[in-house]
Amino acid sequence: MHAAIVLLVLILTYIGMAAGRIAWLQVDRVGISLLAVIALLASSQMTLDDFGSAVDMPTLALLFAMMIISAQFAEAGFIDLCARSIVESRGGTAAVLGLTVAIAGGLSAILANDILIIAIAPVLFDAAQRRGLDPRPFAIALAAATNAGSSATLIGNPQNILLGAIGRLDFWTFIGVCAIPALFALCVVFAVVWLQWRRRMNEFAAPPDASPPPPAHPLDRTQTIKGMVAVLALLILFATPLPREIGALLIAALLLANRKITSRTMIADIDWPLLLLVSCLFAITGALNSAGIASRVLDFLDNHHLVPNNLVVLFPFAAVTSNVIGSVPTAMLLLQIWPNPPPSVLYGLALLSTLASNLLLNGSLTNVLIAERAERMGVGLTFRDYARAGIPITLISLTFAVLWLGLIHVLPVHPAHAPPPP
């Protein structure tokens, strides 16, 4: 009965994740995961002590620290400066689009995507409108480039942070595996968006009731330099034996001890719903192990040659699940079913699931955040507008990534050549 209840709650939770919300209620994925935890607690299938022990604190600590570091750049006005530099460029529309892709891809590799998007999107869309440019292609390019750029490093997005922290992946080895496909994906983003929108970018008239410009953060050079030094120090600490989360927390603590930006302001920038989502998913998927379900699922997959330790299985698994339930729930589910996958599987999952999230508008939190910011500013970015670019971007970049992983022998292509799970 315990296993049946846990499995039922898990299935209902992931159905809700796939739908994005509960029908007829304003309950999103964060709320769904929280309701699932409460259901497990209320039915005595889990205790609060079980909840605490299931949460991987190093992962949450690293996520929190990276958000603080990202907030430093947002409050210092650096991200606003980047947005204005894109649209105020004296080049043509190709140059503006290229800068959007390059800056979004570069920043997303080292900053928390949610904080980056919240800061850069309103400024970019407003500046594009005032220049007479259609904001929609820039919204698409911003979303796709942010996803692609974040796949290059272990700190680029929540699922990479999760996989890196639990799998103890090497920071620099990860870059060696994933940086080339990420750069290729950025080139694909530019090429696809430019080919589809080059003749329509200038055909835009700002609505008469255009909203006032978003509040700007004036550039503070001292605080920006402080943030850059913090990132450099973080990368140096990653090359030492010090645990990654401890090094990041030390850097975050130094940034919080700020004479100009209050700690309350920095902490307010934290994406607390995301941290709650990750915590709840740790507890929900952790119940699989306590109920003995995870080991049975792994045995079933092994017996039917469906363990994702090869590209034939991992590619469709990552592509489908990341768009259906999201990249973070996908990573968490795999790590519970298969607690000790080899690093090669984690490299492949991080890269493929992140690139796959470019497929549709609801494919990632980044895409949803950009769509919400665009809607608030009267920019009608539709599901169809995004899919016309997102589908070819994803197919081309994923094909290259699979070929790349096979070429450098990160993962075998066929299940027959893959070692069995331990």
Any idea where the domains of the chain sit in the sequence?
2-417
* CA–CA dist 208, 94 (Å, integer): 27
Residue that has been written with the tokens 């290229």 in this structure:
98
Residue 184, pLDDT score:
98
Rounded to an integer, the average pLDDT of 186-190 is 97
Residue 419, pLDDT score:
62
* CA–CA dist 180, 208 (Å, integer): 44
Cβ neighbors of 328 (< 8 A, separation 6 or more) are 158, 159, 162, 277, 278, 281
Bigger pLDDT: 241 or 19? Answer: 241
Give the pLDDT band (50/70/90) at residue 331: confident
* CA–CA dist 321, 373 (Å, integer): 25
* CA–CA dist 221, 378 (Å, integer): 32
Task: For residue 40, report the phi and psi dihedrals to the nearest 5 degrees.
Answer: -65, -40
pLDDT at 207 over 80: no
Cβ neighbors of 213 (< 8 A, separation 6 or more) are 126, 130
* CA–CA dist 22, 30 (Å, integer): 11
Residue 386, pLDDT score:
92
DSSP letter at 28 equals B
* CA–CA dist 385, 191 (Å, integer): 16
Residue 250, pLDDT score:
95
Give the pLDDT band (50/70/90) at residue 402: very high
* CA–CA dist 281, 34 (Å, integer): 9
Rounded to an integer, the average pLDDT of 303-330 is 86
Average pLDDT, the chain: 86
pLDDT at 205 over 60: no
Tell me the pTM.
0.87
125 CB neighbour count, 10 Å cutoff: 28
Farthest-apart Cα atoms in the chain, separation: 67
204 three-state secondary structure:
coil
* CA–CA dist 250, 236 (Å, integer): 13
Q: Which of 135-144, 204-213, 344-353, 374-383 has the lowest mean pLDDT?
A: 204-213
212 CB neighbour count, 10 Å cutoff: 6
pLDDT > 70: what percent of the chain? 91
Q: Report how far apart, in Å, the C-alpha atoms of 373 and of each of 60, 121, 367 are.
A: 26, 7, 10
Tokens of 382: 């539709």
DSSP letter at 21 equals B
Rounded to an integer, the average pLDDT of 229-239 is 92
Summarised one tens digit per residue, pLDDT across range 49-97 is 888 888 889 889 999 999 999 999 999 999 989 988 888 888 788 999 9
pLDDT at 260 over 70: yes
